[in-house]
Amino acid sequence: MIVENVKKERKPRRRRVEFAEAGGMVFALFLLSSFIISCASPSQPAQQPQTITAYSASSAQPWMTDLFACADELSVTVKVSAENPDISLRIGEPDALFFPAYQIGEEEVFIVTSRESPVQNLSLAEAQALFSGSGNPSIQVWVYPSELDLQELFDQFVMQGRSVTSSARVAIDPQQMSDVLNTESRAVGILPGRWKGGDSREVYSLGKFPVLAVLRDESQDAAAAVLACLQSN
């Protein structure tokens, strides 16, 4: 009887040991899986995409394509806004510049006519006479609003203090100017090289001018990176 009692007492002890060993294995597996999950989880949250604002004078619009390409390469989002843009593009240096400006290219500006126009290659004096109204009266001259960078360059390097004729027509931007010069055989106007196309031809060169990127805040990393990309292209 004593032996039988001892045997009966040993059986539950063996079961307790087996349960403890199984529990230990489950706990170990739990710790291992927790470690694997923690290792697979990122240690830092993903960075939010950077965003800048940009704007261009109509004359430099073709250069916005380069800006978008640089931004895409750098994973920077660009919002087009005329209100305090981080980067603004223009042709030529303005009279007053309040922020740092960097050259990203060069653009030649021309006096342009239709292929069918009677106007041939012009000298500076002939260009001045034509746009002041003392040239061929059958020719219709086109200019831009006075505040546009192209008109500023034209006034400075062609008219040189002279007034444009009051009969001159005004194009709001190079796109309208280009359309007129390709459809009106007696029209003469002003276009940057990148805007010239169709059957138009240049009859006088104002010269080559810097394409400028004006940076509102040099400490803005994303804008500075896009600018550096533009300068390297």
Per the model's pLDDT, the better-predicted residue between 39 and 77 turns out to be: 77
41 half-sphere exposure, CB direction, 13 A CA radius:
9
Residue 45's pLDDT band (cuts 50, 70, 90):
low
Mean pLDDT over residues 183-192, rounded? 94
Q: Is the pLDDT of residue 152 over 70?
A: yes
* Residue 5, pLDDT above cutoff 80: no
**182 and 113 in contact (C-beta within 8 Å)?**
no
Residue 169 burial (C-beta neighbours within 10 Å; 0-12, 13-18, 19+): middle
Report whether pLDDT(133) > 90.
Answer: yes
**Which helix (H) or strand (E) element contains residue 10?**
helix 2-40
Residue range 47-61: mean pLDDT, rounded = 90
Q: What is the pTM for the complete model shown?
A: 0.76
The pLDDT of 70-77, averaged and rounded, is 96
**Contact between residue 184 and residue 166 where contact means Cβ atoms under 8 Å apart:** no
Burial label, 168 (beta-carbon count in 10 A; 0-12, 13-18, 19+): middle
Q: Is the pLDDT of residue 137 over 90?
A: no
CA distance 6 to 216: 91
Q: What is the mean pLDDT of residues 68-94?
A: 95
For residues 141 and 32, which has the higher predicted lDDT (pLDDT)?
141
What is the rounded average pLDDT for all residues in the chain?
A: 84
Q: CA dihedral in degrees (117, 206, 65, 61; nearest 10)?
A: -80
Query: What's the pLDDT band for 47 if we cut at 50, 70, 90?
Result: low
- Residue 92: name the closest of 208, 195, 210 by CA: 210
Please give the Cα distance from 229 to 233 (Å, whole number). 6
Say what the pLDDT of residue 145 is.
Answer: 96
Of 107, 109, 185, nearest to 140 (Cα)? 185
